[in-house]
Amino acid sequence: MFDRRLIKFFDWGLLGLTFFIAFMGLVVLYSAVMAGDPGPQKILCIKQLIWYSVGLVAMVFAFLFNYKLLGKWAYAIYLICIILLIAVLFLGTYVGGAKRWLILGPVSVQPSEIVKIAVIIILARYYSKHANTSGLRLRELVTPLIFTLIPFVLIVNQPDLGTAILLILIAGSMTVFVKIEKRSYIYITACCSMLIPVIWFLLKEYQKQRILTFLNPDRDPLGAGYHIIQSKIAVGSGMIFGKGFLQGTQNILAFLPEQHTDFIFSVLAEEWGFVGSLIVLLFFLLLVVRGLTIAYGCRDTFGTILAGGITMFIFLQIVINIGMVIGLMPVVGVPLPFISYGGSSIITVMICIGILMNISMRRFLIE
């Protein structure tokens, strides 16, 4: 039965932050697709509302049951997600040159988004059993490495290097959050440094071009560097207060590519300016701080690590997307949480918020 005490501890602050950021996301998306000649893209706003409705249902479901059950279901959840990733390789649909989507009836699903939650859950379960004050040793990191590398390899083969790297960063941040033995940490750092030339050799040509373009966008201004150059022009032209709602010229004149997905922050910055961008970043910061507060306030080790992993996942997506838009990071195709268009991304983030609420409501209860 539902414990009435949970109503008292319901996290209205987290819910309010989520709704506000989601509302801002819908406003920016409307501007991105409706400015100038909207054409067939106007349907994207309606689809995004539908995805938010589905995400809201998923979020409610995610906080109704005790989050500790996720620890018991961790292996099953992980296995299902891996099966979905394998299915993509054989049954997936190509979109934009990558096979990332599964068609399930009237909707398409991107398993690489959902697997992020699965990896966070299974790592939280493992680390909650093995964490200690002295830190994790190398032999204790082999299992988490395998848990991470399996979906990493499957996602790289789609190919989706951005999501694969994000998965590694999530796993790495959770490992650091738990604590690594100093000697092991030095050894891992040295090995990763030596692997950089090998990784460069294994990258596909277009992936190398993205990194080279990040270092010097002007080397190919009409090709590989076009996205980032136009994005930086849009961000800079917003100045302090922006050009106004639906008045972004980079967006209206279609200079800005992928304006409703990966580069939607460029639309926001051009129309709302530095002040508007700062307000959005402030609410993102409050969301991250709230997530960390929930993590450190939880009395259960599994809940603490789970909340920390989810918070780092949201934080990393924010940093990578905005860093990509303003030229501080290579273009890797990571969506901005709550803002970028995309059903799988929206539902995944809403489920994460639901799990955070779940932990927040139950962290004061002694069972």
pLDDT digits (tens, 9 = 90+) for 143-158: 999 999 999 999 988 8
Contacts 24+ apart (CB under 8 A), 139-142: 141/175, 141/180, 141/184, 141/188
Residue 40 has pLDDT above 80, yes or no: no
Distance between CA atoms of 270 and 251, rounded to whole angstroms?
9
**Residue 367 lies inside a defined structural domain of this protein:** no
Report how far apart, in Å, the C-alpha atoms of 31 and of each of 149, 252, 271, 283, 366 are: 39, 9, 9, 20, 48
**Residue 273 lies inside a defined structural domain of this protein:** yes
Residue 180 DSSP label: B
List helix spans (H) across the chain: 5-8, 12-34, 43-64, 68-91, 111-130, 138-156, 161-178, 182-202, 205-215, 226-237, 249-252, 264-297, 301-325, 343-362
Domain that holds residue 104: 5-362
Q: Read off the pLDDT band of 247 (50, 70, 90).
A: confident
Would you state the pLDDT for residue 219?
A: 64
**Residue 217 lies inside a defined structural domain of this protein:** yes
Query: Of the given ranges (21-35, 90-104, 156-170, 207-221), which has the lowest mean pLDDT?
Result: 207-221
Residue 357 has pLDDT above 50, yes or no: yes
The predicted model scores a pTM of 0.89
Would you state the pLDDT for residue 294?
A: 93
**Residue 70 lies inside a defined structural domain of this protein:** yes
Higher pLDDT pick, 198 / 156: 156
Q: How many domains does the chain have?
A: 1
Residue of 78, 104, 81, 79 lying closest to 93 (CA atoms): 104
Would you state the pLDDT for residue 255?
A: 64
Distance between CA atoms of 169 and 174, rounded to whole angstroms?
8
Beta bridge partners of 280: none
Distance between CA atoms of 183 and 185, rounded to whole angstroms?
5
Residue 338's CB: how many other CB atoms inside 10 A?
A: 30
Q: Are strands 93-95 and 107-109 parallel, antiparallel or unpaired?
A: unpaired
Q: Read off the pLDDT band of 1 (50, 70, 90).
A: very low
**Residue 123 lies inside a defined structural domain of this protein:** yes
**Residue 250 lies inside a defined structural domain of this protein:** yes
With beta carbons less than 8 A apart as the criterion, state whether 308 and 281 touch.
Answer: no
**Residue 330 lies inside a defined structural domain of this protein:** yes
Largest CA distance in the chain: 63
Would you state the pLDDT for residue 348?
A: 93
**Residue 34 lies inside a defined structural domain of this protein:** yes
| Chain Cα centroid distance, residue 332 | 12
Residue 305's CB: how many other CB atoms inside 10 A?
A: 24
Query: Of the given ranges (39-43, 155-159, 231-235, 355-359), which has the lowest mean pLDDT?
Result: 39-43
Residue 78 has pLDDT above 60, yes or no: yes
Distance between CA atoms of 318 and 166, rounded to whole angstroms?
11
Q: Which amino acid is at 129?
A: K
295-342 confidence digits (pLDDT tens): 998 888 999 999 999 999 999 999 999 998 888 887 777 889 999 988
Q: Show the tokens assigned to 246.
A: 């639906």
Higher pLDDT pick, 135 / 163: 163
Q: Read off the pLDDT band of 127 (50, 70, 90).
A: very high
